């Protein structure tokens, strides 16, 4: 069973990685677009050189991500043990290289190079690079651990700081007893953070209107900017994927690869980013105002469930229209209960992280 320290490591590392992605995704998307345009200009868009270049900029991204994680952990979370952090850092490496491996076939398909030999060659090179990165990560972790242990020995062996700590604890204990009673009287509040109650008449918190506005904006963006445009792609419209790739299928029917891309991972990254952003904004707002974040975050989660349902049901309508070629009733609408359930489970995981980060310890 994972103890609280391990949960602390995992949640902090995952959040740091997500923050890095949020800050760097624009730059990465820009580089991907520049490389593609450069190869188009040279007449080499359909070449392995382009795919290789795209793979290597993702290698650079992963290297920068690991540098950021280790530097942040060592600087801002000095209480975390490098040994406990190691498996979660390796999980990040596995996740990033798994994502990269999934992107390679798409890039090869765009270049009309999706033969088995070429795909295997690229996948082998990605696996080889992953092994190399893991070895480099172990070396850095070892050096980090040496510095961490050195700091711990200093604090543990210093009698001066030990004595100072005892004195400080005594002073704090005295102050914690007398100061609140001097300020507030005998009925000292048991919590510094103010409750955020739910109105018994409306079932809403005081932050409901602000949270609802955020959630509505997320829903409108996903449906209007990412789902509805698929209906117009046959007439020349394009849709940008989460990793910056331009999607268009004007020369083919909405079957096979186009439909597979639509249903397998197209909307999920946008939806997860939006979920995390809403919860972060609500949590940060509570933190800045000195409010207990539990009720507002759970309220936001309830509102986000409606976004998930609305998004997937709109996708089902678009899918039915495209497959029916203007006669949607001629084909059966896809059941999206499974997709909704999977995303709701992810929503609960994001809620747990937000509750930990913004003031509520895990039960």
Taking only the tens of pLDDT, the chain with its 363 residues reads 344 344 477 888 888 888 888 888 788 888 888 887 888 878 877 778 888 888 898 899 999 999 998 888 888 888 888 888 888 889 888 988 898 888 888 878 777 776 778 888 888 988 999 999 988 888 888 888 888 787 776 655 555 555 566 676 677 666 665 555 555 555 444 344 677 777 777 788 889 999 999 999 999 999 998 888 888 776 666 777 777 777 776 656 777 778 888 888 889 999 999 999 999 999 999 988 888 899 999 999 999 999 999 999 999 999 998 888 878 888 899 999 999 999 999 999 999 999 988 875 444
CA atoms within 13 A on the CB side of 250: 11
- Answer whether 45's CB lies under 8 Å from 36's CB: yes
Q: Which residues are paired to 240 by β-bridges? A: 246
Q: Which residues are paired to 291 by β-bridges? A: 194
Angle at 50 between CA 49 and CA 51, to 5 degrees: 90
- Answer whether 223's CB lies under 8 Å from 309's CB: no
Distance of CA 336 to the CA centre of its chain: 23
Could you tell me which residues come within 8 angstroms of residue 174 by beta carbon, excluding any fewer than 6 positions away? none
CA atoms within 13 A on the CB side of 294: 10
The secondary structure of residue 194, as a DSSP letter, is B
Q: What is the pTM of this model?
A: 0.48
Listed in sequence order, the DSSP H helices in the chain are: 4-41, 48-76, 82-110, 116-157, 159-184, 208-220, 257-263, 268-289, 294-324, 337-357
């Amino acid at each position: 069973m994972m103890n609280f320290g391990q949960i602390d490591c995992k949640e902090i590392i995952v959040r740091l990685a997500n923050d890095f992605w949020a800050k760097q995704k624009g730059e990465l998307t820009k580089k991907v677009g520049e490389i593609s345009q450069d190869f188009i200009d040279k007449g080499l868009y359909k070449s392995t050189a382009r795919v290789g270049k795209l793979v290597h900029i993702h290698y650079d991204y992963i290297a920068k991500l690991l540098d950021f994680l280790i530097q942040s952990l060592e600087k801002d979370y000095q209480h975390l043990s490098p040994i406990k952090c190691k498996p979660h850092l390796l999980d990040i490496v596995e996740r990033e290289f798994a994502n990269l491996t999934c992107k390679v076939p798409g890039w090869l398909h765009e270049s009309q190079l999706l033969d088995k030999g070429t795909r295997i060659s690229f996948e082998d090179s990605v696996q080889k690079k992953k092994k190399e990165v893991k070895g480099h990560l172990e070396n850095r972790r070892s050096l980090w651990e040496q510095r961490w242990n050195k700091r711990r020995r200093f604090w543990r062996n210093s009698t001066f700081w030990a004595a100072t700590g005892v004195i400080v604890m005594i002073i704090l204990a005295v102050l914690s007893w007398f100061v609140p009673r001097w300020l507030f009287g005998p009925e000292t509040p048991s919590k510094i953070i103010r409750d955020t109650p739910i109105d018994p008449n409306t079932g809403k918190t005081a932050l409901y209107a602000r949270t609802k506005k955020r959630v509505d904006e997320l829903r409108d963006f996903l449906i209007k900017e990412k789902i509805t445009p698929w209906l117009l792609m046959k007439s020349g419209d394009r849709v940008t994927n989460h990793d910056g790739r331009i999607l268009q299928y004007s020369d083919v029917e909405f079957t096979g690869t186009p439909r597979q891309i639509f249903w397998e991972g197209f909307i999920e990254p946008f939806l997860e980013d939006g979920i995390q952003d809403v919860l972060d904004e609500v949590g940060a707002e509570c933190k800045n105002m000195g409010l207990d974040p539990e009720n507002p975050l759970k309220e936001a989660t309830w509102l986000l469930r409606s976004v998930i349902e609305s998004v997937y049901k709109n996708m089902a309508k678009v899918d039915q229209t495209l497959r029916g070629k203007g006669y949607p009733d001629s084909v059966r609408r896809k059941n999206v209960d499974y997709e909704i359930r999977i995303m709701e489970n992810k929503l609960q995981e994001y809620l747990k992280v937000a509750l930990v980060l913004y003031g509520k310890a895990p039960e």
